[in-house]
Amino acid sequence: MELFYVSLLCLFVLLVSISFLFLFSNKNKSTLSCPLPPGNSGWPVIGESLEFLSTGWKGHPEKFIFDRISKYSSNVFKTHLLGEKATVFCGASGNKFLFSNENKLVQAWWPSSVDKVFPSSTQTSSKEEAIKMRKMLPNFLKPEALQRYIGIMDHIAQRHFHESWENQEEVFVFPLAKRYTFWLACRLFVSVEDPNHVAKLADPFDVLASGLISIPINLPGTPFNRAIKASNFIRKELVAIIKQRKTDLAEGKASATQDILSHMLLTSDENGKFMHELDIADKILGLLIGGHDTASSACAFIVKYLAELPEIYEGVYKEQMEIEKSKVPGELLNWEDIKKMRYSWNVACEVLRLAPPLQGAFREALTDFTFNGFSIPKGWKIYWSANSTHRNSEVFPEPLKFDPSRFEGSGPAPYTFVPFGGGPRMCPGKEYARLEILVFMHHLVKRFRWDKIIPNEKIVVNPMPIPAKGLPVRLFPHNKP
């Protein structure tokens, strides 16, 4: 069925593309002072999109990048991806250039289909709304603001492990990691903590997330169509939560600092205007998607690598048990405890290097410019890849070796370790992700050892790395022989 959708999409794109094939063929020739980067546009219409995507489906997304670096002897090459003329920037110099020229020479780009899944009630684009959101989020997601939520994270983690892990001989890690991170996001973003209410939202979110990375054909029964319906359902649920919160704030039953929702309701823009309910629902919807999918991937891969590397597990276990022994019964984790988790975070960073949830991202050229002696025309899309440095032996010696010591001291060189992006577009939830990952690790290792049930389980990258079978493990509780 998916193949049918792919074929239908390709046919549609082909008909449209033929109509415009020659219209813009000479558009940029007269304004470019340097040659275009080396490369290949691939097949007509579809370009190199299938190879770009298929290397991820096969679990080796870096292959698309490194094959072309080797072929063209260049850290920048041209291609054709997702129906767009594109260049790929590789290495620390490419990352630095893009991150340093955000909103100067380049800007964020994503397909227009995003607006169909995340329609704003305003007349602005999702791109403009994202810029507004980035201005608002730092006040809530900065480390000093998040410190007061560590106890809540600890409380949710305790409930999660008690209800979903304890007294189980075997579990599927990836869906449980998604449940944990989604529960946290619901609690910290909109103060929804009841497991039944969380579950009511969780299934539509899974439909929405899978539809975002599907073929964007809005016909009944397609993943994209189901994603749009799921987003509409979730938006209605969020509007109901927002209306109740406004009443609670007015009656003094809710706090101005209890979550992002209260922050949004009480924060005006530079003109003194407050956001409409549907605008807030749109933004919360996006936050809930971004606030748990990437972290759940990271948590799952931490479980994977700790199962494969007993000596690394021992280091994390020792550190976490020292923290646990310093606590009185019933005492929740706090900021001082998080600061002691240095080795655990080095381990998490090495996981993020080898299996970055954010494989890369697209930018769009705002004007003609040159990079490394090559011209990049206005309007072209630019892709940067985390793996171009993460798995580069010149940047990280023995790149496939799991080595947390890479992050000791000053750590990797600037612009080489980029699981959260960089520059103005760096993920604003980086510190939030660090806290939820460390709290997860604390509760995991203090309760269990575990073995992988499928030793060589395939990893699929679509668009983030996912264990193909959900990472089933066999649990061995510490308090049992």
Q: Which two tokens stand for residue 341?
A: 């988790």
Helix (H) and strand (E) counts for the chain? 20, 12
Residue 363 bridge partners (DSSP):
108, 382
Closest by CA to 300, choosing from 161, 466, 168, 463, is 466
Is 349 marked as a binding-site residue? no
Q: Which two tokens stand for residue 47?
A: 């370009």
Distance CA 38, CA 374 (A): 9
Q: Which two tokens stand for residue 229?
A: 């319906």
Q: Helix-strand-coil percent breakdown of the chain, rounded to 5?
A: 55, 10, 35
Distance CA 387, CA 396 (A): 11
Q: Distance of CA 422 to CAs 216, 281, 315, 354, Å?
A: 28, 27, 30, 18
Q: How many residues does the chain have?
A: 481
φ/ψ (deg, to 5) at 4: -60, -45
DSSP H helices, 58-194, are 62-72, 91-100, 113-117, 126-136, 138-141, 143-146, 150-164, 173-190
Distance CA 66, CA 54 (A): 15
Backbone φ/ψ region at 191: left (φ over 0), alpha (ψ -120 to 50), beta: left
Torsion over CA of 441, 429, 209 and 164, rounded to 10 degrees?
Answer: 20
φ/ψ (deg, to 5) at 370: -115, 150
φ/ψ (deg, to 5) at 456: -115, 45
Q: Which two tokens stand for residue 136?
A: 């608002």
| Residues contacting 42, CB < 8 A, separation 6+ | 48, 49, 51, 79, 80
Residue with tokens 């606590």: 327
| CA atoms 160, 161, 162, 164: torsion sign | positive
Distance CA 402, CA 347 (A): 9
Which residues make up each annotated binding site for heme? 427
Which residues make up each annotated binding site? 427
